[in-house]
Structure 1
Amino acid sequence: MPLDQELNEEKEMSFLDHLEELRWHLIRSLIAICVFTIGAFLSAKWIFENIIFAPARPEFPTFKALCRLADLLNQEGLCITDIPFKVQSRNMTGQFTMHIMASFIIGLVVAFPYVCWEIWRFVKPGLQRNERKYSRGAVAAVSVLFFLGISFGFYVIAPWMVYFLANYSISDMVVNEFDITSYVSTVVLLVFGSGLLFQLPVVIYFLTKIGIVSPEFLRKYRKHSIIIILIVAAIVTPPDPLSQMLITIPLYLLFEISILISSGVAKRKAKEEAEELLREQQSSVHPTDITQD
Structure 2
Amino acid sequence: MDHFKELRKRLTYIVIAFVLFFILSSLSTPYLISLLKSNAINHSIDLNLFKMNEAVTIHIKLMLFQAIILSCPIIVTQIYQYVKPALDLHTQKLCTKIIPVVSLLFLVGSLLGYILIVPLLTSFFLFVANETGLNTMFNFTDYLNLVLTITLIFGLILEVPAFLGFLTTLGILQTDVLRKLRRVSYVVLCVFSLVITPPDFISDLIVTLLMFSLYEISILISSHIEKRREVFHLKKRGDEIG
Question: What TM-score range do you get, normalising by the shorter chain?
Answer: 0.7 to 0.9
Matched, 1:98 2:58: yes
d(CA) in 2 for partners of 1:183 and 1:154?
12
- What residue ranges of structure 2 are gaps of 5+ in the alignment? none
1:150, distance to aligned residue in structure 2 (A): 1.5
Partner of 2:222: 262
2:47 aligned counterpart, secondary structure: strand
Partner of 1:25: 10
Paired residues for 1:39-78 under 5 Å: 39-50=24-35, 52-58=36-42
1:273, distance to aligned residue in structure 2 (A): 4.8
Rate the CA distance shift 1:246–1:32 in 2: closer, same or farther, 3 A: farther
1:48, distance to aligned residue in structure 2 (A): 0.5
Partner of 1:13: none
| TM-score normalised per structure 2 | 0.85
Matched, 1:166 2:166: no
The amino acid across from 2:5 in the alignment is E
- What residue ranges of structure 1 are gaps of 5+ in the alignment? 1-15, 59-82, 284-293
The amino acid across from 1:56 in the alignment is A
Please identify the structure whose Cα radius of gyration is greater.
Answer: 1
Partner of 1:76: none
1:211 aligned counterpart, secondary structure: coil
State which of 114, 126, 145 in structure 2 corresponds to 1:154.
114
State which of 83, 97, 109 in structure 2 corresponds to 1:137.
97
d(CA) in 2 for partners of 1:108 and 1:243?
27
State the Cα RMSD in Å: 2.6
Partner of 1:12: none
Cα deviation digits, residues 238-292 of structure 1 (max 9, x gap): 6545655443322221111111111112223344455566677x58xxxxxxxxx
| TM-score normalised per structure 1 | 0.72
State which of 184, 188, 200 in structure 2 corresponds to 1:228.
188
Could you tell me whether the CA contact under 8 Å between 2:90 and 2:232 is conserved in 1?
A: no
1:203, distance to aligned residue in structure 2 (A): 1.4
Could you tell me whether the CA contact under 8 Å between 1:208 and 1:266 is conserved in 2?
A: yes
Cα deviation digits, residues 93-124 of structure 1 (max 9, x gap): 33322221121011211222222222222222
The structure in which a higher percent of residues are helix is 2
- Of all paired residues, the percent bearing the same amino acid is 27
d(CA) in 2 for partners of 1:88 and 1:238?
25
Matched, 1:89 2:49: yes
Aligned residues between the structures = 241
Could you tell me whether the CA contact under 8 Å between 1:233 and 1:247 is conserved in 2?
A: yes
Rate the CA distance shift 1:27–1:277 in 2: closer, same or farther, 3 A: closer
Rate the CA distance shift 1:232–1:152 in 2: closer, same or farther, 3 A: same
1:84, distance to aligned residue in structure 2 (A): 3.0
d(CA) in 1 for partners of 2:49 and 2:221?
47
